[in-house]
């Protein structure tokens, strides 16, 4: 299908890939994972448009390889007047229309050779995407995604999450040789995430999916490509098996590394002794021995373990260091209502008390972000924020809170940060490398932009944080680091999230948006609702246990308690796989 051989590519200030090689075979469902900013989206674009890039190595594709693509940054044109079914039919109808036009030309043309070649090409495309049966195929796909009832709904009336699924469906229906999905799960609610999982699993073609979503990783893929620190690692198997193998490999390498360091230390001491002897007496044999030992030391240093997939980048996310007594009302919403997308959110009433951590949860398109925007504007008579409270925001629409045309350095200076050197040192804690300081914010990856927002919030001194989809685009290490930071924060948090783990592990209670209003729900009841309506409860409980074991393994590694690591790895491998 696609073979990449010894690929190297980068920018003047940063190398992205260093001599990487991998294969994508027909029928594989492959997840492309890696830390934020490692170049996953760039690699995907290189596979689709290799002629746009100057690189070393080879990207080899089958001659007639057709590639489909669904972007993470899809924007819907709400002015379009068509139904969902018409939207999914467009490319089939366009191909049929072109076939008819070529036939008309051939009927009157004197030289039909070129026209016949085009005609045959269009017929081949129609056959490849099963164009004669497109109507029934569309209805089947809508059924898989549990969206059959939307067939005649106008495109302008569906939610953003539903539109994202339709884009993916539209590409799947065309039956490309390779379908590439770049973070297809971002911002999807639980129902749409479940539908996406079903669409991926029923798809018979080859898939390459960039994702950080743990649920998809555990359910949808039989191959893992892990991009980290300029290198790539292939693993044939599912994500759970890959995680276990990584810990086993890390244990082996850590033990080997300790042995190497001991050998290096012994050799360094011997070189030092020999050098001292050589300086005390003139003896050619001692000089030869010094050179020999130095060469041995150089070889030891050169072959030290370099494990880009073992020591992954984990950001040190912290939230403002505040001390707020758990009393008093920080935010009060009284009889709030708003119209959005021709729907109405009404009779919204709740209070947020100091020290509480609350999650707003609801289906795509129910008005959560509209509510958050109105809270931030703070000019609605139904909304009252304590005037003595400092608050800060992380926006899912990143251009709203940070000027994407400015460099990171300019943005950080605008927020009161100092010299370029101190900014680089500070951002390094968030796994934002030194070269990003001179880049425009809009050039950063989605995850890097989120980390930048979090880095600025950390120094804001805010006692109230309003977080809109804070884990979107973050890699798994960033998601875990943010979860820990939220748990440690002493202030008040109001967050909109579709991240089950963040909500279940960090929220004191949930504000559920449904039936055009908001009602309060205990976190335990929220978990039960998610289990009953969307996901298998056994899976979620098992995955939570898996995360706990992974955290214990990480802690054991930090303490060099290798016996504990061995025991915990065995425990991890015995957990039921899904």
- For the segment 384-418, what is each residue's pLDDT rounded down to a tens digit? 999 888 999 998 765 566 788 889 999 998 888 88
Task: Flag the least confident range among 90-94, 212-216, 541-545.
Answer: 541-545
Q: Confirm or reject CATH 3.40.190.10 for domain 46-230, answering yes or no.
A: no
Helix (H, G, I), strand (E, B) or coil at 330: strand
Q: Check if 46-230 and 329-535 are the same fold.
A: yes
> For the residues 31-47, what does the mean pLDDT come to?
91
The closest of 190, 241, 194 to 218, measured between CA atoms, is 241
> For the residues 140-155, what does the mean pLDDT come to?
93
pLDDT of 165 strictly over 90: yes
Containing H/E element for 39?
Answer: none
pLDDT confidence tier of residue 540, bands split at 50, 70 and 90: confident
Identify whether the C-beta of residue 16 lies closer than 8 Å to the C-beta of residue 9.
yes
pLDDT score, position 283: 63
- For the segment 104-131, what is each residue's pLDDT rounded down to a tens digit? 888 888 888 888 889 998 999 899 899 9
pLDDT score, position 305: 47
Q: How far is CA 350 from CA 375, 518, 544, in A?
A: 12, 8, 30
Q: How far is CA 70 from CA 162, 395, 535, in A?
A: 14, 23, 25
- For the segment 248-303, what is each residue's pLDDT rounded down to a tens digit? 888 888 887 777 778 878 888 887 877 777 766 666 666 677 677 677 767 655 65
Could you give the CA distance from residue 56 to residue 420 in angstroms, rounded to a whole number?
A: 33
pLDDT of 326 strictly over 60: no
More confident residue, 198 or 367: 198
Could you give the CA distance from residue 6 to residue 28 in angstroms, rounded to a whole number?
A: 22
**What tokens does 420 get?**
């370029």
Could you give the CA distance from residue 235 to residue 242 in angstroms, rounded to a whole number?
A: 7
Per DSSP, helices labelled H in 220-327 are 239-280, 284-302
Q: How far is CA 162 from CA 92, 158, 193, 195, 524, in A?
A: 21, 6, 10, 10, 28
- Give backbone dihedrals phi and psi of 219, rounded to 5 degrees, phi first: -120, -20
**What tokens does 55 get?**
């690189």
More confident residue, 209 or 159: 209
Instruction: Fill in the DSSP letter of residue 156.
Output: G
Identify whether the C-beta of residue 41 lies closer than 8 Å to the C-beta of residue 446.
no
pLDDT score, position 148: 94
pLDDT of 196 strictly over 60: yes
% of the chain at pLDDT higher than 70: 91
The 3-class SS string of 433-497 reads CHHHHHCEHHHCCHHHHHHHHHHHHHCCCCCEEEEECCCCCCCHHHHHHHHHHHHHCCCEEEEEC
Phi-psi region of 416 (alpha: psi -120 to 50; beta: other; left: phi over 0): left
More confident residue, 342 or 162: 162
- Residue ranges covered by each domain of the chain: 46-230, 246-302, 329-535, 538-578
pLDDT score, position 493: 96
Q: How far is CA 101 from CA 89, 125, 210, 280, 454, in A?
A: 18, 16, 39, 94, 55
- For the segment 63-89, what is each residue's pLDDT rounded down to a tens digit? 778 899 998 766 667 667 899 999 999
Domain 329-535 in this protein, CATH class: alpha beta
**What tokens does 118 get?**
């085009």
Could you give the CA distance from residue 320 to residue 456 in angstroms, rounded to a whole number?
A: 10
């Amino acid at each position: 299908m696609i073979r990449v051989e010894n690929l190297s590519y980068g920018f003047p200030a940063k190398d992205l890939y260093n001599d990487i090689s991998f294969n994508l075979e027909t029928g594989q469902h492959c997840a492309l994972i890696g830390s934020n900013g490692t170049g996953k989206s760039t690699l995907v674009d290189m596979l689709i448009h290799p002629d746009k890039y100057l690189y070393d190595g080879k990207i080899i594709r089958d001659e007639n390889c057709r590639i489909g693509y669904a972007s993470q940054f899809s924007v819907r044109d709400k002015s379009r007047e068509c139904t969902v079914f018409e939207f999914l039919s467009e490319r089939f109808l366009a191909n049929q229309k072109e076939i008819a036009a070529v036939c008309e030309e051939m009927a009157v043309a004197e030289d039909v050779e070129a026209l016949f070649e085009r005609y045959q090409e269009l017929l081949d495309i129609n056959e490849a995407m099963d164009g004669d049966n497109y109507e029934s195929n569309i209805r089947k796909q809508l059924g898989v995604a549990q969206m059959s009832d939307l067939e005649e709904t106008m495109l302008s009336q569906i939610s953003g999450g539903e539109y994202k699924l339709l884009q993916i469906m539209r590409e799947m229906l065309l039956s490309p040789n390779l379908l590439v999905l770049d973070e297809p799960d971002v911002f999807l609610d639980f129902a749409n995430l479940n539908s996406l999982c079903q669409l991926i699993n029923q798809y018979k073609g080859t898939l390459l999916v960039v994702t950080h979503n743990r649920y998809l990783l555990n359910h949808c893929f039989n191959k893992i490509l892990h991009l980290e620190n300029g290198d790539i690692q292939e693993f044939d198997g599912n994500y759970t098996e890959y995680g276990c193998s990584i810990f086993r490999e890390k244990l082996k390498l850590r033990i080997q590394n300790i042995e190497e360091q001991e050998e290096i230390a012994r050799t360094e001491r011997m070189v030092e002794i020999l050098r001292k002897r050589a300086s005390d007496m003139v003896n050619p044999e001692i000089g030869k021995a010094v050179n020999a030992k130095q060469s041995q030391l150089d070889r030891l240093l050169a072959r030290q373990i370099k494990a880009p997939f073992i020591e992954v980048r984990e950001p040190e996310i912290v939230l403002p260091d505040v001390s707020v007594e758990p009393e008093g009302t920080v935010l009060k919403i009284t009889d709030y209502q708003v119209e959005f997308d021709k729907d109405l959110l009404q009779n919204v009433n709740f209070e947020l008390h100091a020290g509480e951590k609350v999650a707003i949860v609801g289906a795509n398109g129910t008005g959560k972000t509209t509510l958050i925007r109105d809270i931030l504007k703070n000019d609605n008579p139904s909304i009252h924020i304590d005037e003595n409270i400092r608050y800060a925001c992380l926006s899912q629409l990143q251009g709203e809170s940070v000027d994407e045309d400015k460099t990171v350095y300019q943005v950080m200076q605008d927020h009161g940060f100092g010299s370029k050197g101190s900014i680089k040192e500070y951002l390094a804690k968030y796994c934002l490398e030194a070269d990003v300081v001179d880049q425009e914010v809009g050039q950063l990856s989605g995850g890097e932009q989120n980390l930048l927002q979090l880095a600025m919030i950390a120094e804001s001194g805010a006692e109230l944080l309003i977080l809109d989809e804070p884990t979107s685009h973050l890699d798994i290490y960033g998601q875990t680091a943010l979860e820990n930071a939220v748990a440690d924060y002493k202030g008040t948090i109001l967050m909109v999230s579709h991240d089950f783990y963040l909500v279940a592990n960090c929220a004191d209670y949930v504000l559920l948006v449904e039936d055009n209003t908001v009602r309060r729900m205990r976190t335990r009841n929220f978990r039960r609702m998610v289990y009953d309506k969307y996901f298998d409860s056994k899976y979620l409980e098992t995955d939570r246990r898996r995360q706990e074991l992974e955290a214990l393994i990480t802690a054991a590694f930090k303490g060099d308690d290798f016996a504990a690591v061995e025991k915990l790895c065995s425990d991890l491998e015995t957990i039921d796989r899904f």
